[in-house]
């Protein structure tokens, strides 16, 4: 059973009302070398040009390369001794979000278990990103059963006045945002909602905010990420896919191409399943210093793999981005 492109297009288009003009997507960069698992990637280039890729599982796995084409090497973990956060899942770190601030690398990460709101966002800091150099600072923010939100999938961004913000969220009421102190370690506000999908099960997560020219762009992953079974796939379009909205402020409101607020199920499609690429998401952007190009980074489940549609084979997707229309359009890299 393989969903047709038309089926996906109708499914996503009807629910969001904002299917992008192009329903074909470019293929990701072919990657050389042996398979390595990536889910919810974060990709950072160090001053010496080396690429550091971080993944869910493997205690927040660290994978490095000197060329985006690979080969990539699994070199270790951010938290080989587990997180100090005393919550279930402290030995299985999710969605590390790494960025460079004030001379150091900050990794926000999530501790949770599948389908639970008993979740925490933690912080680890390193000067080089190499394995063995990360110092765990523990809990930054948490949620418990009955809260409106779920404290996973963190992303740090800096607003138009230079103030740090932490966006997060997954299902429940979807995507929220907090303000942080300048040292990036302490929360100073209650969560404010950024995006919401009114269709049950409110399937939005994996938010991140990226500034380009005069806009802040909020990207989200919407749909089901994992646990696919080849004979029992979700209805076409209900698997992971990437939507975007934009705002003049990092605080929102984020509107899609049709002017619909992302808090009202808005969102313009950036990437969906196509060809061998199923359920793409967990997206981030980084600017490659070698080429001075923005690179769109995500994971996908290969249809054609030793075990089709199996998220144990979740793989790295890399594309270019064309911004000239004011909206991100993916290109080949
Ligand atoms: C909202 O959820 C529905 C059902 O899963 C999905 O079809 C639609 O694409 C989603 N839209 C957004 C913007 O998340
Ligand atoms: C980390 O978690 C694993 C699995 O629960 C456990 O076996 C191991 O002892 C833990 N390590 C430390 C240092 O607590
Ligand atoms: C978080 O957002 C920043 C830009 O504000 C970006 O550099 C970083 O890659 C993002 N990380 C993740 C994991 O979303
Ligand atoms: C999570 O937050 C609640 C308050 O919302 C607090 O009572 C609880 O101790 C926190 N859990 C952890 C592990 O810090
Ligand atoms: C997915 O692949 C893994 C690793 O090969 C295997 O253990 C698991 O049983 C597979 N799951 C399904 C649903 O086929």
Structural domains present in the chain: 19-331 (2.115.10.20)
Q: Which segments of the chain have a pLDDT < 50?
A: 1-22
Rounded (10°) CA dihedral 187, 189, 191, 194? -100
| 219-258 pLDDT, tens digit each | 999 999 999 999 999 999 999 999 999 999 999 999 999 9
DSSP string, 68-126: TTS--EEEEES-TT--SS-STTTTS-EEEEEEEETTEEEEEEEE--TT-S-EEEEEEEE
Looking at residue 149, the DSSP 8-state letter turns out to be S
Non-local CB neighbours of 4 within 8 Å, separated by 6+ positions: 236
91 Cβ inside 6 Å of ligand 2: yes
229 Cβ inside 6 Å of ligand 5: yes
Find the residues whose C-beta lies inside 6 A of ligand 4: 86-87, 120, 139, 142, 144
By the 10 Å C-beta count (0-12 exposed, 13-18 middle, 19+ buried), 284 is classed as buried
Q: What is the pLDDT of residue 19?
A: 41
* CA of residue 94 relative to chain centroid, distance: 11
CA angle 13, 156, 43 (to 5 degrees): 75
From 140, 144, 147, 186, give the residue whose CB has the most ligand 4 atoms within 8 Å, as the site to mutate: 144
The closest alpha carbon to 220, from 180, 257, 258, 167, belongs to: 167
The closest alpha carbon to 265, from 192, 209, 204, belongs to: 204
Q: What is the pLDDT of residue 2?
A: 29
Lookup: tokens for 114: 């599948």
Q: How far apart are CA 176 and CA 192, in angstroms?
A: 5
Cα(55) to ligand 4 centroid in Å equals: 26
* CA of residue 17 relative to chain centroid, distance: 23
From 59, 78, 82, 113, give the residue whose CB has the most ligand 2 atoms within 8 Å, as the site to mutate: 82
Q: How far apart are CA 124 and CA 153, in angstroms?
A: 15
Q: Starting at the edge strand that comes first in sequence, how are the strands of the sheet with 204-212 ordered?
A: 204-212, 215-222, 241-247, 268-271
Active site amino acids: 40, 205
CB 316 within 8 A of CB 296: no
Q: What are phi and psi of 10, to 5 degrees?
A: -65, -45
Q: How far apart are CA 167 and CA 222, in angstroms?
A: 15
Prediction pTM value: 0.91
Q: Whose CA is nearest to atom 11 of ligand 1?
A: 16
What is the β-pairing status of strands 61-65 and 175-179? unpaired
Q: What are phi and psi of 107, to 5 degrees?
A: -115, 105
Q: How far apart are CA 221 and CA 130, in angstroms?
A: 28
Q: What is the pLDDT of residue 23?
A: 67
Cis-peptide into 253, omega within 30 deg: yes
| Total residue length of the chain | 333
270: left (phi over 0), alpha (psi -120 to 50) or beta: alpha
* CA of residue 88 relative to chain centroid, distance: 22
82 Cβ inside 6 Å of ligand 2: yes
Q: What is the pLDDT of residue 183?
A: 94
From 63, 95, 155, 288, give the residue whose CB has the most ligand 3 atoms within 8 Å, as the site to mutate: 155
81 Cβ inside 6 Å of ligand 2: yes
Instruction: Please give the number of the atom of ligand 1 that sits closest to the Cα of 223.
Output: 5
Q: What is the pLDDT of residue 8?
A: 35
């Amino acid at each position: 059973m393989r969903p047709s492109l038309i089926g996906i297009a109708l499914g996503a288009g009807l629910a969001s009302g904002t299917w992008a003009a192009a329903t074909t997507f470019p293929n990701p960069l072919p990657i050389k070398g042996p398979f390595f698992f990536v889910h919810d990637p974060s990709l950072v280039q160090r001053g010496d040009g080396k690429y550091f890729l971080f993944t869910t599982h493997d205690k927040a796995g660290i994978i490095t390369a000197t060329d985006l084409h690979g080969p990539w090497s699994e070199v270790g973990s951010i938290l080989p001794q587990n997180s100090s956060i005393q919550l279930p899942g402290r030995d299985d770190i999710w969605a590390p979000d790494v960025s460079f601030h004030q001379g150091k690398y900050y990794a926000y990460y999530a501790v949770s278990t599948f389908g639970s709101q008993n979740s925490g966002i933690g912080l680890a800091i390193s000067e080089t990103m190499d394995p063995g150099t990360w110092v765990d600072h523990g809990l930054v923010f948490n949620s418990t059963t009955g809260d409106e939100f779920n404290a996973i999938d963190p992303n740090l961004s800096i607003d138009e006045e230079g103030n740090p913000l932490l966006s997060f969220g997954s299902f429940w009421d979807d995507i929220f945002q907090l303000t942080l102190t300048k040292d990036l370690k302490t929360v100073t506000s209650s969560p404010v909602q950024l995006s919401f999908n009114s269709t049950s099960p409110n399937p939005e997560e994996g938010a991140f905010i990226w500034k380009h020219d005069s806009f802040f762009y909020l990207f989200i992953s919407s749909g089901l990420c994992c646990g696919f079974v080849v004979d029992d796939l979700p209805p076409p379009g209900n698997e992971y896919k990437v939507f975007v909205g934009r705002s003049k402020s990092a605080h929102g409101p984020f509107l899609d191409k049709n002017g619909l607020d992302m808090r009202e199920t808005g969102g313009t499609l950036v990437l969906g399943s196509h060809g061998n690429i199923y359920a793409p998401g967990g997206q981030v952007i980084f600017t490659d210093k070698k080429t001075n190009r923005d690179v769109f980074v995500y994971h996908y489940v290969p249809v054609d793999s030793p075990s089709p549609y199996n998220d144990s084979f979740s793989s790295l997707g890399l594309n270019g981005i064309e911004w000239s229309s004011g909206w991100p359009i993916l290109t080949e890299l």
